[in-house]
Structure formats: structure tokens, C-alpha cells
């Protein structure tokens, strides 16, 4: 603190007028005895100070926002059931269709193997049956 | 009249009055602020119980009331009328027998009146309540850095306005002391 600030500091403030003491204390005592609401009011004033209207408007805006949010939350499940999300039965049917389609595609891409001429079943005539039996007993003879 | 309330008044009323007067710039408003503060204390007798620094709490209460009153007054009165009323109000400093000192105190009161209330309050608490920036921060609900910067801004403005008069008084006093 420099000289200038020290000089300012040395300037004495006025004294509180002595006649105020009795009046202020008497009025304070009267107010506390006569008005029970005074006990409740200060925390409201302290809480809302310094802009009670601004706080009130903000609270009202929040109440409106919460109300709109709750209203939209109540209506949204109906909308969802109706359009966006399929039911369980529809889902199962859809899976079945998909499975059938996949089997069809797989069978078209991988046809069953055609048997070779050597493995083909020979006619069951007596002469042929004898030859066939020999082949089956001694295939490399 | 509760004895405890009277004791609080005797201990703190001077500091609360000086702050209220410096913020509101009117005797009647300073009285209203004091009335409101002591009304609250009377309504809630345990308000100061358990507080580490009751004076800081009372100064804060007084400051809040004074600012609240200033806002109500600004909404109620036209700015020109409010300025006229402030200009015609008595200054917050004690009268001096020396003419040059009295002139300086009036000039100081005027210069303080031009400052924004938040800067004026910081200067008041720092110079006339000998509060630290931490104390001021506690009273006003701001950071110590903010309190310090407000004080510096305000002192610079006061210095610009009052330096010529201050130098004149200082020279006069030095001359009279030497002779």
C-alpha cells in the first residue's frame, strides 16, 4: 500500500447517528415478535436474490420442458410398436423365410453328386450278377 | 429488546453503517439497510451462532441488502433524479476542521460515487475495514483475484482523479511542517 492509499485510508468515515440505535433495535424486536412470516420469508429472499423474476421464469421454463418430455415419452411406445419395431411373431416368420431362402441358394450352388459309371448299379441279370459278385470279391484281380 | 441484539449492534453497527452509506450514498438508505439487517437478526436469533467470522457475515448481509436497495431504487427512480439525490447527499466521511482536508474528503466522496458499486465496496472493505483480499472475497462471494483486480482498477481511477489535490495537500503540509 503506497502513500496515496495510506492517505485515503486515514480519512475517517462518519459515525452512525447515535439516535438510530434505539429506533432500529426497537423496530427489529417488534418485527420479530409481530410477524411470524418473517422467519419464512428471509430464506426465500436469500434464495431468490437478486433476481426473483428471472429465477421464477427459469423454473417455469424447466417445468414446461419436463412436461413436454414426459408427454412425448408416453406417446412414443405406441408409435414404436406400430411401425418401427416388428413383433416377435413377425420376427420369427422373417427368420424362417430367410432360412428357406438360404437353403434354396445353397442347394442351387451345390447340387448333389452324380454317381460314376463304375459305381452305377448293374442290371440284376444272372450273368451280370456273377460278374458283379467277382468284381466285388476281388476288385484288383 | 434482546440484549444479544444490542451487543451485536454496539460491536458492528459502525462498520455496517459505513459500508451501507458508501454503497447507497444516502443516509436514509443506509438506515433502511441497517434496519433490515437487524430485523433479520431479531427474526432469527441463532443466525450468527457457529460462525467463524460473524463480522464478515454481517458485512455480506449488509452489502446484499444495499445492492438490493440500489436495484429497487434504480427501478423506481429515473437515473437523473437518482444522480441528483446522490450528489446532494452528505458524503460518508467525517467533517474536518481543515479546509483543504475537507475539500479532499468531498472530492474523495465524489470520486468514490463515480465508481461502480462493486469496485466501491472492495475499496471500502480494503481501506476502511482493513480486510484482506481473502476476507473481501468471502464477504462478496468472489475470488480473491477478482477482489484484487477490482481494487487495482478502482485505486487507479481514484489516483487519476485525486492525485493533483493530494499532491497539493501534501506540499502544503510539508511546507507548514518545515516552517
Q: How far is CA A108 from CA A78, A112, A116, in A?
A: 43, 10, 21
Residue B51 has φ and ψ, to the nearest 5°, of -80, 140
Minimal-distance CA residue of chain B relative to A24: B35
Q: Which domains does chain B have, with CATH numbers?
A: 1-90 (1.10.1740.10), 95-179 (1.10.10.10)
Considering only CB atoms, A29 lies closest to which of B1, B18, B44, namely B1
Walking along chain A (141 residues) 10 residues at a time, the average pLDDT comes out as 87 89 87 54 65 86 94 70 70 91 87 65 60 67 54
* Residue among A59, A60, A79 at smallest CA distance from A71: A79
CB contact under 8 A, B67 and A50: yes
The nearest CA of chain B is from the CA of A56 a distance in Å of 17
Spell out which residues of chain A touch residue B35, defining contact as CB-CB under 8 Å: 24, 27-28
Q: What is the mean pLDDT of residues B53-73?
A: 89
Spell out which residues of chain B touch residue A29, defining contact as CB-CB under 8 Å: 1-2, 5, 42
Residues of A with CB under 8 A from a CB of B: 3-5, 7-9, 11-17, 20-21, 24-29, 31-32, 35, 38-39, 42, 49-50
Q: What is the mean pLDDT of residues B67-87?
A: 71
The predicted pLDDT at position B32 comes to 92
Q: What is the mean pLDDT of residues B169-179?
A: 74
State the DSSP string of A67-91.
HHHHHHHHHHHHHIIIIIS--HHHH
Is residue B126 scored above 80 in pLDDT? yes
CA A9 to chain CA centroid, Å, is 61
Amino acid at each position: 500500500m503506497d502513500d496515496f492509499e495510506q492517505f485515503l485510508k486515514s480519512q475517517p468515515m462518519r459515525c452512525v447517528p447515535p439516535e438510530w440505535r434505539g429506533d432500529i433495535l426497537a423496530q427489529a424486536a417488534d418485527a420479530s415478535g409481530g410477524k411470524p412470516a418473517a422467519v419464512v420469508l428471509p430464506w426465500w429472499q436469500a434464495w431468490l436474490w437478486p433476481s426473483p423474476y428471472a429465477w421464477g421464469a427459469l423454473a417455469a421454463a424447466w417445468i414446461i420442458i419436463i412436461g413436454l418430455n414426459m408427454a412425448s415419452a408416453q406417446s412414443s411406445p405406441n408409435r414404436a410398436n406400430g411401425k418401427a419395431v416388428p413383433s416377435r411373431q413377425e420376427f420369427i416368420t422373417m427368420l424362417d423365410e430367410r432360412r428357406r431362402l438360404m437353403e434354396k441358394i445353397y442347394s442351387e450352388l451345390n447340387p448333389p453328386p452324380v454317381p460314376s459309371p463304375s459305381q452305377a448299379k448293374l442290371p440284376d441279370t444272372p450273368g451280370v450278377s456273377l460278374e458283379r459278385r467277382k468284381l466285388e470279391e476281388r476288385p484288383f484281380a | 429488546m434482546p440484549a444479544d441484539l444490542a451487543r451485536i449492534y454496539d460491536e458492528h453497527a459502525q462498520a455496517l453503517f459505513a459500508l451501507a452509506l458508501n454503497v447507497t450514498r444516502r443516509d436514509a438508505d443506509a438506515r433502511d439497510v441497517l434496519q433490515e439487517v437487524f430485523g433479520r437478526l431479531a427474526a432469527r436469533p441463532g443466525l450468527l451462532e457457529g460462525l467463524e467470522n460473524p463480522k464478515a457475515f454481517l458485512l455480506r448481509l449488509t452489502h446484499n441488502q444495499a445492492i438490493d436497495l440500489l436495484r429497487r431504487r434504480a427501478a423506481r427512480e429515473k437515473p437523473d433524479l437518482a444522480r441528483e439525490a446522490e450528489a446532494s447527499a452528505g458524503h460518508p466521511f467525517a467533517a474536518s476542521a481543515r479546509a483543504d482536508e475537507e475539500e479532499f474528503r468531498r472530492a474523495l466522496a465524489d470520486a468514490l460515487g463515480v465508481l461502480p458499486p462493486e469496485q466501491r465496496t472492495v475499496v471500502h472493505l480494503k481501506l476502511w475495514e482493513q480486510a484482506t483480499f481473502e476476507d473481501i472475497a468471502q464477504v462478496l462471494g468472489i475470488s480473491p483475484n477478482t477482489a484484487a483486480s477490482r481494487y487495482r482498477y478502482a485505486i487507479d481511477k481514484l489516483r487519476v482523479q485525486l492525485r493533483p489535490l493530494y499532491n497539493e495537500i501534501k506540499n502544503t503540509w510539508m511546507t507548514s511542517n518545515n516552517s
